[in-house]
Structure formats: structure tokens, C-alpha cells
């Protein structure tokens, strides 16, 4: 009896032909349904962005995901994300993009240009849980691959009341693929607070008058860095203005350092990271048609009076100086609502010199080339006999197109952008 049973078991489970059939069947299934048979996908998440985000901010990496299989390959076609945070994602988040890390071997720094967007189109949340489909299925394998969940905040996002945004994968069903996904719960980003822009903008002219305290984005109340050793400054100049990063207009710094150094505070955001407006690349333009990137000076200054003159003799601004940002802008006050925070003091100085504001509306606005003529005196102007700015006397060269009444100085065929001047026509 026992012998027969043993014999029976042996023939059923160890017969070479049956083993062969089992293996063949498994192979057949694996070929028929690629991925489904064996691969299990595992997902790891790291929180990237911390702190706050401002309206219009782009390329914010919320989460970095690393996906791999235990064996074989799997096809990943889409990801589901859930709203996370107190604000309503539908108007707050302008777009959600998933990027694949293609920047270089071992380099896991996100780059909006070097890494590859794999979402079909910039889409955003339509419901609390939204599926974002890829332009092509992603093949996952045993080699871990890195992906980024990247947000663009709506430029008109509501910043009142400290609302927050975030991204979350609630569980494994949020990874939509042809294979099993290892169980997880709540892989999520940090909760990012929506904050107003650090200074006035056209739409929001004077945040400093409100209850917000935005001074801290640029000034450190305690432990301000000491710029003395780096810039060879002494006494109270070293930490004057208790700025978090350098911003200088003094000739002793501006003449001897690149603008990336003395405009560092402004360029820390205006390089396309803290603000979507990238002035840094304009200041550093290498386009051969751009003769004056950074609104450069063309010779040494000679005047020590006027609007923002050099400190005093013997200090002069040298030729080739890229102008400090606040020669034109003033981030503290824009009570007159001048265009793009152009300095109120500049307006007051020009009017004080007899400049006739073309539309007499009490501020520098975008019309009538006011943004240029507030400094550059027309050659046929009679009401204002002198305009000295930054140590330079500014008159427009007598040229037919200048004399016949100026218009559209910033047109692409004329001088173009104020931060990268073209004078080759
Ligand atoms: C902490 C980041 C940050 C810093 C530092 C910063 N900015 Fe800005 N700035 C922004 C943001 C954000 C906006 C709004 C536009 C946007 O969302 O990109 C803005 C807008 C502006 C505007 C346009 C205003 C308008 O009416 O449209 C000007 C001009 C400007 N900044 C100048 C400066 C200058 C000059 C400095 C240095 C003193 C500076 N910024 C420093 C983030 C910053
Ligand atoms: C976007 C950056 C930024 C923000 C925000 C900001 N400041 Fe400033 N602040 C500067 C810079 C740059 C200077 C240096 C100006 C200069 O060199 O003339 C400065 C200088 C000052 C000075 C010294 C003025 C002087 O003549 O030296 C005071 C006082 C000051 N800030 C107060 C404030 C207060 C108060 C707030 C908030 C209500 C604020 N700042 C917000 C960038 C900023
Ligand atoms: C010679 C004057 C001048 C200097 C110097 C200058 N700007 Fe401007 N900036 C302007 C003018 C004028 C505009 C408005 C341009 C327009 O609307 O056509 C402007 C616009 C801007 C804007 C808004 C752009 C937009 O698309 O909304 C930002 C941000 C800005 N400047 C930042 C800076 C920073 C940062 C620096 C220093 C690195 C700087 N500016 C230096 C004159 C200047
Ligand atoms: C804050 C005052 C100010 C404003 C506003 C301003 N500029 Fe200038 N600009 C200067 C200074 C200072 C120079 C250097 C002058 C020099 O080296 O002789 C300069 C130089 C130039 C030059 C080079 C030619 C030259 O004189 O060397 C051109 C072109 C120019 N600006 C065009 C413009 C245009 C276009 C605008 C408006 C978008 C504008 N500027 C707004 C102050 C200003």
C-alpha cells in the first residue's frame, strides 16, 4: 500500500516529462502576457521641495520616485496622484509633469531641460485623484530608475491664509502598470506653503503694507552673513542691510566682481528657480548680437551728482559695468505703482529735473517708452536739460529714428530687452 502510494507520488511529481510541461507552460504564459507573470515593481519616494512656493513658480520637484522590478521587465503606463494640502489643486496647480532622469549617469539633480518629460501633455488635476498618462509606456527593470513629480504653480494662485500644496500616492494602485506593485501607503511630498512673492508686483503692488512679513526672504534678522572678508569691507559695511546674500551698488565691489556676485541676491531667484523670470541668463547672454548684456556702461562715469551717483571721488563706475538691479528697480516701495517696480525715486528725480511725464499720471508706466526716457533724455527735449544717472549724463544720440520722436525702443528690431541690449541696427 505505502509502496504503491510512494510510487504514485513519484510518477506524478518527479517525472521528467511533467516537469518539462510545467516549465513550458510557464514560459508560454510569460510570452503571452509580458511582465505579468513574474515582475513585481517596488517604489521608493523621497521628498524634495521644502518650505514655501510662490505663484508662478515652475519646475518644483515635489517627489523623487525610484522604481525597479525584482526580476524581468514591466511596462508602466500612468500614475495617479492625489491632492494633498489645504488648497484646491485645480486652480492652484497650473500643471503636473512627470520627468524621467536622463541627465547623466549617477546624476540625480533634476533639470527641466536635460531630463525628459514623459507626461503626454502638461495636464493638471481635474478631480481630487487624477491619472496622468505617459506619452509612451516606461519599461522598468531590475536597474532602479529615477522619476520626478514636478509642479508649476498657477501665477494667480491664492496665497492668503497660508494654504498648502503637495503630491501623494495613496497606495500601490497609484502606479498603473502591467505587473504587480509591492504594497505601500501614502508616499507623499512635504506640505508646501503658498507665499506671496517676496516683493511687490504689478498685481500686488505693496505686500509690505499688509500683515505679511516678507522682509525675511532677503534680510536675516539674526546671524546675517559677514561679507567683510569676501569683499574686503570693514566696519558696519560688512553686515549693513543684514542681507542674506550679497547685493551691492558700491563701486568698490561693482567694479571688481562679476554681476553674478554683486547681484547674487536678486539672481538667486531670478535665474528661473525662485521666480519664473530668468534675468540671470539675459545678464550673461553670449549672443553676438547683444552688445550690452546686463545694461552695461560703455565708458567710465564722470559725475558724482544726480540719481545714484558713485560714492565719491575718486570712485567711478568703470566701462563694462553691468548695472546693479536696483539702479532701475526698487523692491521696497512701489507706492506709485510704477511699471515692473521701476524705482519711484527715479521717477521723482526725473520729474525734479524737468522731465515731462508724457501722460502725467505720476508714475513710470509701460507706454510712451517711459521706461527708457525716464533716464535717457531725448536730444530734442527742452524741459529737462540734464539727466545724470549712475554717474553718467544720458542723452540719446542724434539719429533720424531718435529725433523723429521715439517709439518702441524695446522692439525686437530696436534695442530689445532692457536686460540684454541690442544696439547693432
Ligand atoms: C526669494 C525670491 C526672490 C528674490 C530674492 C528676488 N525676487 Fe524679484 N520676484 C520674485 C518673484 C516670485 C516675482 C514674481 C514673478 C514670478 O512669480 O516669477 C518677482 C518679481 C520681480 C519683478 C517684477 C515685478 C512686476 O511688477 O512684475 C522685479 C522687477 C523683480 N522681481 C526684481 C527683483 C530685484 C531687483 C531683486 C533683488 C533686490 C529681486 N527681485 C529678488 C522672486 C524674487
Ligand atoms: C527682494 C529682497 C528684499 C526684500 C523682500 C526686502 N529688502 Fe530691504 N533691502 C534689500 C536690498 C538689496 C537692500 C540694499 C539696498 C542698497 O544697497 O541700497 C535693502 C536695504 C534695506 C534697508 C537699508 C536701507 C539703506 O539705505 O541701506 C532697510 C532698512 C531695509 N532694506 C528694510 C526692509 C524691510 C523692513 C523689508 C520688509 C518690509 C525689506 N527690507 C524687504 C532687499 C530686500
Ligand atoms: C537699466 C534698467 C534696468 C536694470 C539695471 C534692471 N532692470 Fe529689470 N527691468 C527693467 C525694465 C525697464 C523692465 C520692464 C520691461 C518691460 O516691461 O518691457 C524690467 C523688468 C524686470 C522684470 C520683470 C520681467 C517680466 O517679464 O515681467 C524682472 C523680474 C526684472 N526686471 C528683474 C531685474 C533684475 C533681477 C535685475 C538685475 C540683475 C534687473 N532687473 C536690472 C529695467 C532694468
Ligand atoms: C536707471 C536709468 C536707465 C534706464 C531706465 C534705462 N537706461 Fe539705458 N543706460 C543707462 C546707463 C547709466 C547707461 C550707460 C551709459 C554710458 O555708458 O554712457 C545706459 C546705456 C544704454 C545703451 C547703450 C548706449 C550708451 O549710451 O552707451 C542703450 C542702447 C540703452 N541704455 C538703452 C536703453 C533702453 C532701450 C531703455 C529702456 C528699456 C533704457 N536704456 C533704460 C541707464 C538707464
Picking from 201, 207, 251, 203, the residue whose alpha carbon sits closest to that of residue 231 is 251
User: Does 330 score more than 60 pLDDT?
Assistant: yes
- Looking from the CA of residue 208, the nearest atom of ligand 2 is 38
Where is average pLDDT lowest: 89-98, 131-140, 293-302?
A: 89-98
- In this prediction, residue 117 has a pLDDT band, given cuts at 50, 70 and 90, of very high
User: What is the structure's pLDDT at 214?
Assistant: 67
User: What is the structure's pLDDT at 347?
Assistant: 95
User: What is the structure's pLDDT at 35?
Assistant: 42
CA-based Rg of the chain, rounded to a whole angstrom? 31
Residue owning the nearest CA to atom 22 of ligand 2: 241
Q: Please choose from 377, 394, 415, 416 the residue to mutate so as to test ligand 4's pocket, defined by most ligand atoms within 8 A of CB.
A: 394
CB contact set of 324 (below 8 Å; sequence gap of 6+): 247, 248, 249, 254, 259, 262, 263
247 touches ligand 2 (CB under 6 Å):
yes
What is the mean pLDDT of the segment spanning 297-323? 88
What is the mean pLDDT of the segment spanning 5-24? 44
262 touches ligand 2 (CB under 6 Å):
no
254 touches ligand 2 (CB under 6 Å):
no
Pairwise CA distance, residues 276 & 253, whole Å: 28
CB contact set of 35 (below 8 Å; sequence gap of 6+): 72, 73, 74, 75, 177, 178, 179
Percent of the chain at pLDDT exceeding 90 = 46
Q: Please give the mean pLDDT across all residues of the chain.
A: 83
Q: Please choose from 241, 251, 254, 334 the residue to mutate so as to test ligand 2's pocket, defined by most ligand atoms within 8 A of CB.
A: 241
pLDDT in tens, 385-402: 899 999 999 988 777 777
pLDDT in tens, 352-369: 999 999 999 888 988 889
User: What is the structure's pLDDT at 207?
Assistant: 45
User: What is the structure's pLDDT at 100?
Assistant: 95
pLDDT in tens, 172-220: 999 999 999 999 999 999 998 887 766 655 544 544 444 445 677 788 8
Task: Give residue ranges with CB within 6 A of ligand 4.
Answer: 292, 295, 297-299, 327-328, 346, 371-372, 374-376, 389-390, 392, 394, 409-410, 415, 418, 421, 423
CB contact set of 340 (below 8 Å; sequence gap of 6+): 202, 329, 371
Residue owning the nearest CA to atom 3 of ligand 3: 328
Class of residue 221 by CB neighbours under 10 A (exposed 0-12, middle 13-18, buried 19+): exposed
User: Does 371 score more than 90 pLDDT?
Assistant: yes
Pairwise CA distance, residues 101 & 404, whole Å: 55
Q: Please choose from 340, 367, 394, 410 the residue to mutate so as to test ligand 3's pocket, defined by most ligand atoms within 8 A of CB.
A: 340
More confident: 56 or 174:
174
Task: Give residue ranges with CB within 6 A of ligand 1.
Answer: 54-56, 197-199, 201-202, 217-218, 247, 265-266, 268-270, 274-277, 325-326, 329, 331, 340-341
* CA 297 vs CA 317, 378, 424: distances in Å: 8, 18, 16
343 in Cβ contact with 308 (< 8 Å): no
User: What is the structure's pLDDT at 346?
Assistant: 95
What is the mean pLDDT of the segment spanning 37-65? 87
Amino acid at each position: 500500500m505505502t509502496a504503491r502510494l510512494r510510487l504514485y507520488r513519484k510518477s506524478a511529481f518527479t517525472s521528467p516529462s511533467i516537469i518539462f510541461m510545467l516549465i513550458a507552460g510557464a514560459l508560454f504564459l510569460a510570452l503571452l502576457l509580458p511582465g505579468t507573470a513574474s515582475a513585481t515593481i517596488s517604489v521608493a519616494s523621497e521628498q524634495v521641495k521644502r518650505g514655501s512656493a510662490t505663484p508662478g513658480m515652475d519646475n518644483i520637484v515635489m517627489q523623487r520616485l525610484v522604481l525597479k522590478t525584482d526580476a524581468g521587465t514591466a511596462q508602466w503606463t500612468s500614475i495617479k496622484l492625489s491632492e494633498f494640502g489645504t488648497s484646491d489643486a485645480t486652480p492652484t496647480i497650473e500643471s503636473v509633469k512627470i520627468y524621467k532622469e536622463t541627465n547623466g549617469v549617477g546624476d540625480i539633480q533634476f533639470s527641466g531641460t536635460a531630463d525628459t518629460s514623459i507626461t503626454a501633455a502638461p495636464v493638471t488635476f481635474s478631480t481630487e485623484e487624477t491619472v496622468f498618462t505617459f506619452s509612451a509606456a516606461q519599461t522598468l527593470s531590475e536597474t532602479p530608475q529615477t522619476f520626478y513629480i514636478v509642479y508649476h504653480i498657477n501665477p494667480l494662485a491664492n496665497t492668503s491664509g497660508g494654504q498648502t500644496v503637495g503630491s501623494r500616492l495613496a497606495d500601490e494602485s497609484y502606479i498603473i502598470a502591467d505587473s504587480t506593485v509591492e504594497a505601500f501607503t501614502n508616499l507623499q511630498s512635504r506640505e508646501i506653503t503658498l507665499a506671496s512673492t517676496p516683493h511687490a508686483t504689478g498685481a500686488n503692488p505693496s505686500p509690505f503694507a499688509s500683515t505679511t512679513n516678507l522682509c525675511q526672504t532677503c534680510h536675516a534678522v539674526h546671524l546675517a552673513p559677514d561679507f567683510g572678508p569676501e569683499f574686503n569691507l570693514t566696519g558696519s559695511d560688512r553686515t549693513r542691510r543684514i542681507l542674506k546674500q550679497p547685493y551691492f551698488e558700491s563701486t568698490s565691489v561693482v567694479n571688481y566682481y562679476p554681476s553674478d556676485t554683486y547681484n547674487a541676491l536678486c539672481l538667486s531667484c531670478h535665474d528661473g528657480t525662485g521666480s519664473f523670470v530668468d534675468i540671470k541668463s539675459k545678464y550673461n547672454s553670449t549672443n553676438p548680437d547683444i552688445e550690452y548684456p546686463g545694461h552695461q556702461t560703455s565708458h567710465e562715469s564722470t559725475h558724482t551728482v544726480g540719481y545714484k551717483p558713485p560714492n565719491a571721488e575718486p570712485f567711478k563706475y568703470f566701462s563694462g559695468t553691468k548695472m546693479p538691479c536696483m539702479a532701475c528697480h526698487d523692491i521696497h516701495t512701489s507706492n506709485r505703482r510704477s511699471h515692473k517696480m521701476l524705482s519711484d525715486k527715479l521717477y521723482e528725480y526725473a520729474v525734479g529735473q524737468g522731465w515731462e511725464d508724457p501722460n502725467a499720471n505720476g508714475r513710470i508706466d509701460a507706454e510712451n517708452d517711459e521706461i527708457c526716457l525716464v533716464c535717457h533724455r531725448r536730444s530734442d527735449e527742452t524741459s529737462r536739460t540734464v539727466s545724470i544717472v549712475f554717474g553718467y549724463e544720458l542723452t540719446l544720440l542724434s539719429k533720424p529714428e531718435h529725433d523723429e520722436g521715439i517709439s518702441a525702443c524695446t522692439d525686437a528690431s530696436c534695442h530689445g530687452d532692457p536686460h540684454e541690449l541690442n544696439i547693432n541696427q
